[in-house]
């Protein structure tokens, strides 16, 4: 008959358990031998309890990370040995019996919980890495987030529906993962980049409000905020909805989620309604489409101002400037390091004007400015003593990006970014189309199913690159959390939208026949969004890499080093799906 493995968890014993017998099971974390008295920290998923043993023989064959079952009596710790860092720190278990349940090698690949371990090694032995309190906490936070998201969506009247994993290839802005068919020779399924078509078809089906925690698959390169392979998003769609309706749902869900999971008073987050920033404004004022609103610095456009200034490096090119308060008091090395950073990102230099305490302007550009131009610049930017005005000038294609990187670097170096704040905003009015330099043709900029602003009239009369879509992102602390749009639900408008991008009606029917046909049977106006679960977790946990909030992620080269994927398969398997490796 199987013995009892535990009467309590390793995080459960308290002072009211003193004198009781208890059975604990877990991993032997640390050993301390104090001359005949041995102390062992026993760890499980719930916490740590200190074991006290007076017999060395009880630990024969037991090393760190060995799984053991220990029985004994709960005893109060001496006052000088109380450990306030542990929930169980007032008591200890005096052990008279130890059962070795499973062994571990004397030498581990790395110290459990150490921060000084290569990521590749952590991923190879992920089951060891996940034992650390940090990773356990991240997984618990993930579960709490998913519970909270479901509660919020259910309370708002959304119906959870699961959409297929094996589906048809669809352009969503990244490469598909293809799955060969055994039954249908030469044909392939694709893993969904997003449940886009299915959720729109649910709206046509009469589902008023849909949501799911959706797995999405994209064959794209890894970044700190993006895993190759798969990720999860809170995906939702609403019938008879405009973009403001979607924004209201997203604001409520995110505010409830952050309030529930980061309720400590040291943290603040943007209340609803979130600021609305057009893409054009974001690129100009913040230097990118993911503005970090914790940084108070703004980018100014001084192109027109320098049009009649005889400073050759600024002539004929766009000029941006960033006013940094109290920067003039920084040391010489501060400006040297900023110049080094500027050259490292491709700039030829970093001009600036500093304002001294007496109001005098200093810097290599000052001599090119007349008294009148100085007055104009001062009136426009309200320069104060100790301010420094940094200048960025380059080609139109890169000047905003360079200015955005200088803004971010200044914000960090000057300590201007409030790390305790979650600053949300909407970035709106994305372009419907863009020019593809490789194919030399007009392409959809993002989602091909978005509603163009101006409708059919805009598609028929406006230059394609001027057309904006009812498309939007949510950004928090410089991280893109979501992408959403009002959908194009009219067949005739869909035909024209795809025609602008070079698709014929027959192409549309061949690639998106289900949606095109469904819309002819009466489609309600609808809109929706996908919010990245993994990126929310990055923000909530404070992790720098998205791989630290995923249980079993791929590495940066899209490899599962734990199980060895991608891997070779047998010739028989290839023949079954009609594939030959060339």
Task: Compute the average pLDDT of residues 303-329.
Answer: 92
Beta bridge partners of 278: 428
User: pLDDT tens-digit profile of 424-443?
Assistant: 999 999 999 999 888 889 99
| pLDDT value at residue 229 | 85
| pLDDT value at residue 364 | 85
Task: Compute the average pLDDT of residues 371-392.
Answer: 93
Are the C-beta atoms of residues 443 and 501 closer than 8 Å to each other? yes
Which residues does 530 contact at the CB level (< 8 Å), separation at least 6? 194, 214, 216, 233, 234, 235, 236, 482, 483, 484
| pLDDT value at residue 460 | 95
Percent of the chain with pLDDT over 70: 99
Complete domains list, the chain, with CATH: 15-102 (2.40.50.140), 115-262+529-582 (3.30.930.10), 295-417 (3.30.1360.30)
Are the C-beta atoms of residues 563 and 234 closer than 8 Å to each other? no
CA 245 to chain centre: 24
Average model confidence (pLDDT) for the chain? Answer: 94
CA angle 62, 70, 33 (to 5 degrees): 50
| pLDDT value at residue 409 | 97
Task: Give 16: exposed, middle or buried? Use CB within 10 Å, 0-12, 13-18, 19+.
Answer: exposed
Distance CA 469, CA 453 (A): 5
Whether residue 171 is predicted with pLDDT greater than 70 in this model: the reply is no
Backbone phi and psi for residue 69, each to the nearest 5 degrees, phi listed first = -120, 125
Whether residue 333 is predicted with pLDDT greater than 60 in this model: the reply is yes
CA 70 to chain centre: 42
| pLDDT value at residue 10 | 97
Cβ neighbour number for residue 439 with a 10 Å cutoff: 9
Distance CA 296, CA 211 (A): 36
| pLDDT value at residue 227 | 81
User: pLDDT tens-digit profile of 104-122?
Assistant: 998 999 999 998 999 999 9
User: pLDDT tens-digit profile of 273-293?
Assistant: 999 999 999 999 999 999 999
- Angle between helices 133-155 and 243-261 in degrees, nearest 10: 140
Whether residue 132 is predicted with pLDDT greater than 90 in this model: the reply is yes
- Angle between helices 505-519 and 196-204 in degrees, nearest 10: 40
Residue in the structure block whose two tokens are 């059975």:
23
pTM over 0.85? The answer is yes
| pLDDT value at residue 1 | 38
Percent of the chain with pLDDT over 90: 86
Task: Compute the average pLDDT of residues 32-54.
Answer: 94
Task: Compute the average pLDDT of residues 227-251.
Answer: 95
Which residues does 135 contact at the CB level (< 8 Å), separation at least 6? 129, 548
């Amino acid at each position: 008959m199987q013995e009892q493995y535990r009467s309590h968890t390793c995080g459960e014993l308290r002072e009211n358990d003193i004198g009781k017998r208890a059975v604990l099971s877990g991993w032997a974390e640390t050993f301390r031998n104090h001359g005949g008295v041995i102390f062992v920290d026993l760890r499980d998923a719930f916490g740590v309890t200190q074991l006290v043993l007076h017999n060395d023989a009880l630990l024969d064959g037991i090393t760190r990370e060995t799984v053991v079952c220990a029985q004994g009596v709960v005893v109060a710790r001496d006052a000088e040995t109380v450990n306030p860092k542990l929930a169980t720190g007032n008591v200890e278990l005096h052990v008279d019996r130890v059962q070795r349940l499973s062994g571990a090698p004397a030498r581990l690949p790395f110290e459990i919980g150490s921060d000084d371990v290569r990521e590749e090694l952590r991923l190879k032995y992920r089951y060891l890495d996940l034992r650390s309190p940090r990773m356990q906490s991240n997984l618990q936070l993930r579960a709490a987030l998913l519970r909270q998201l479901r509660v919020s969506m259910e309370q708002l009247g959304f119906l959870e529906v699961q959409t297929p994993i094996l589906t048809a290839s669809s352009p969503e802005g990244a490469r598909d993962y293809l799955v060969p068919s055994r039954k249908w020779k030469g044909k392939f399924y694709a893993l969904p980049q997003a449940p886009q078509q299915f959720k729109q078809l649910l709206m046509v089906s009469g589902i008023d409000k849909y949501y799911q925690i959706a797995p999405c698959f994209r064959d794209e390169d890894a970044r700190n905020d993006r895993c190759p392979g798969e990720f999860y998003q809170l995906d939702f769609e609403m019938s008879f909805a405009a973009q403001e309706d979607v924004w209201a749902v997203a604001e409520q869900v995110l505010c409830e989620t952050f309030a529930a999971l980061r309720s400590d008073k040291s943290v603040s987050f943007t209340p609803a309604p979130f600021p609305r920033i057009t893409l054009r404004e974001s690129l100009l004022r913040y230097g990118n489409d993911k503005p970090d609103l914790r940084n108070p610095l703004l980018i100014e456009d001084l192109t027109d101002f320098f049009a009649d200034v005889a400073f050759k490096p600024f002539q004929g090119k766009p000029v941006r400037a960033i006013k940094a308060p109290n920067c003039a008091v920084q040391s010489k090395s501060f400006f040297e390091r900023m110049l080094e950073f500027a050259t490292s990102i491709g700039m030829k230099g970093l001009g600036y004007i500093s304002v001294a305490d007496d109001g005098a302007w200093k810097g290599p550009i000052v001599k090119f400015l007349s008294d009148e131009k100085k007055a104009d610049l001062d009136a426009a930017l309200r320069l104060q003593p100790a301010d420094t005005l940094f200048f960025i000038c380059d080609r139109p294609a890169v000047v905003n990006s360079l200015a955005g990187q200088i803004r971010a670097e200044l914000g960090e170096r000057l300590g201007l970014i409030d790390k305790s704040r979650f600053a949300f905003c909407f970035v709106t009015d994305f372009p419907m189309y863009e020019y593809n330099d490789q194919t030399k043709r007009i392409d959809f900029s993002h989602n091909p199913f978005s509603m163009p602003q101006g409708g059919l009239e805009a598609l028929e009369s406006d230059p394609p690159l001027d057309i904006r879509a009812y498309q939007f992102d949510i950004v928090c602390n410089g991280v893109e959390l979501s992408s959403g749009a009002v959908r194009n639900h009219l067949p005739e408008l869909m035909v024209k939208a795809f025609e602008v991008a070079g698709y014929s009606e027959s192409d549309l029917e061949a690639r998106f026949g289900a949606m095109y046909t469904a819309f002819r049977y009466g489609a309600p106006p609808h809109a929706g969004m996908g919010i990245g679960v993994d990126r929310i977790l990055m923000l909530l946990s404070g992790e720098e890499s998205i791989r630290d909030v995923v249980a079993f992620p791929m590495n940066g080269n899209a490899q599962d080093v734990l199980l060895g994927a991608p891997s070779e398969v047998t010739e028989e398997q290839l023949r079954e799906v009609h594939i030959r490796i060339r």
